[in-house]
Each structure stands twice: as structure tokens, then as C-alpha cells.
Amino acid sequence: MTRPFVIALDGPAAAGKGTLAKRLAAHFGLAYLDTGALYRAVGLSVLRQGKDPTDPIAATEAAKNLPADLLQDPELRSAASGDASSKVAAIPSVRAALFDWQRRFAAEPQPFADGTPRSGSVLDGRDIGTVICPDADVKIFVTATPEARANRRLKELQARGEKAIYARVLEDIVARDARDTARADAPMKAAEDAVHLDTSDLDIDQVFAKAKAIVDERLKPS
Ligand code: DC
């Protein structure tokens, strides 16, 4: 049996990984896992219990007992969940509790709704190319300037009806980058063999075209 094809997309918050991952998954018929949603769900679960997301015991308990329906909760995209997610993500036992699930998703891609098997998956996050799937067939590190990312996140939050101001969103993005990069366990980092894709001045069609070309090149018979 051939090994499932894996595309690893890593990079900072609001760089455009999620939109790109969904487009690549749809185009190539691959399963898609938003690994940030797992950390957001842990963060949200801790907040809903009235506990502190930096508390390792509460956060690890939440990671071990994540209800599947929480992954669909609209609150996952809120600024509060985003902030809590990067706090729980710095706790090694939280990362350990989510590790096997992510590995299994990549090793055994979920079939299409009609049962047809899929040939692989796209995972997006911070440590996919370095820790979760170090053997991924394609690794792309998606970046954009903090200002471009703050503008995108502002629009996203406003579209959700949240009151948000640019300066505060930018501050949150910079703080989250610092926390995700500085943590000791699986920090946000480009894999040595990742292709870097700066999306600051590109629209989604341009980003998709560049990423598709990278994947097509990898799929070419040698
Ligand atoms: O991609 P996102 O903004 O939804 O991710 C939310 C947080 O989860 C982010 O601040 C860092 C953390 N995260 C992580 O540590 N590792 C991943 N593979 C994905 C997300």
C-alpha cells in the first residue's frame, strides 16, 4: 500500500493558512485538519469551566476529554478563544494529549462522505512540518507581515460581529507570535525543508496558484 500524501502548512496566526489549506484539500481531494481548532477547543473548554488557560491540570484534562462537537463551535474563532489557545498550546502535556490524534489523521486519511478512500491529507498549524509530520511530502511555511495579518483578522472579527480595533488586534497578533515562537515545546518554526510563501501582497487566488504549483511539482513522476 502506498503511504498517504501529506501537505503540511505552518505559519503564524492569520497568515492565510486555513483558507489555503481548504482550497488545496478541495482541489487535490485530500482530507483537511485545522490543528489550531484543537488548541482553540481546549482553550475554550477551559474558559467555559471558569478556569485559567495557563493552568496545566485544567488544560490537560480538557485536552484529554475534548468533545467532538466543540470543534464546530462558532466561539472557536473568537479573540478570547485565540488568546486562550496559545496559552494552552505552550503546555507540553496538552500537546502530548493531542499528538496521537493528529498523527492518526495524517496516517489514515478520512474517506469522502460516500466512502471513497482519499489519498492523503492537508494539516495546518505551527509544528506540522517539524513535529507532527516531519516526513510530509510538501511543507509550506506561510507568512505575512504582522500588519497584513492584523488587517485580515480585524475583518474576520468584524464579520463575526465582534467589536475590534486595529491597534488591539495587531498587539494581540504580536503577543501570540511571541508566545508561539518562544515556547520550549514544539515552537512555531519553519522546517528546514519547507518552502516559504509570503502572502502579504497576494490575494487568495495568487496564494493558491503558488501553493498548487509547489504541490504539482512534488506530484510529478520523477
Ligand atoms: O492557527 P490558529 O490561530 O487557529 O491557532 C491557535 C493557537 O493554537 C495558536 O496560537 C498556537 C496554537 N497551535 C499550536 O501550538 N500548534 C498547532 N499545530 C496549531 C496551533
What is the tens place of the pLDDT at every residue in 193-218?
Answer: 999 999 999 999 999 999 999 999 99
Query: Which pLDDT score, from 0 to 100, does residue 166 have?
Result: 96
Nearest-CA neighbor of 41 among 74, 18, 15? 74
Average of pLDDT values for 161-185?
A: 93
Q: Containing H/E element for 144?
A: none
Please state the atom number of ligand 1 nearest to the C-alpha of residue 89. Answer: 15
* Pocket perturbation via mutation, ligand 1, pick of 77, 126, 128 by most ligand atoms within 8 A of CB: 126
CA angle 72, 78, 81 (to 5 degrees): 80
- pLDDT confidence bin for 170, thresholds 50/70/90: very high
Å from CA of 194 to ligand 1 middle: 18
Beta bridge partners of 10: 125, 141
Read off the amino acid at residue 113.
A
Q: What is the pLDDT of residues 49-72, one digit of tens each?
A: 999 999 999 999 999 999 989 999
Would you tell me the crossing angle of helices 146-159 and 166-182 to the nearest 10 degrees?
A: 120
Å from CA of 33 to ligand 1 middle: 12
Closest-CA residue, ligand 1 atom 3, reads 13
Say which residue the cell 466543540 belongs to: 70
Query: Which pLDDT score, from 0 to 100, does residue 2 have?
Result: 79
Average pLDDT, the chain: 95
Query: Which pLDDT score, from 0 to 100, does residue 79 have?
Result: 86
Q: What is the pLDDT of residues 87-131, one digit of tens each?
A: 999 999 999 999 999 999 999 999 999 999 999 999 999 999 999
Å from CA of 88 to ligand 1 middle: 10
Give the CA-trace dihedral at 13, 15, 18, 24, to 10 degrees.
-150
| Cell, residue 63 | 485536552
pTM of the predicted model over 0.75: yes
Alpha helix ranges (H) inside 49-184: 56-64, 79-88, 92-107, 146-159, 166-182
Average of pLDDT values for 31-59?
A: 97
- pLDDT confidence bin for 1, thresholds 50/70/90: low
Closest-CA residue, ligand 1 atom 20, reads 36
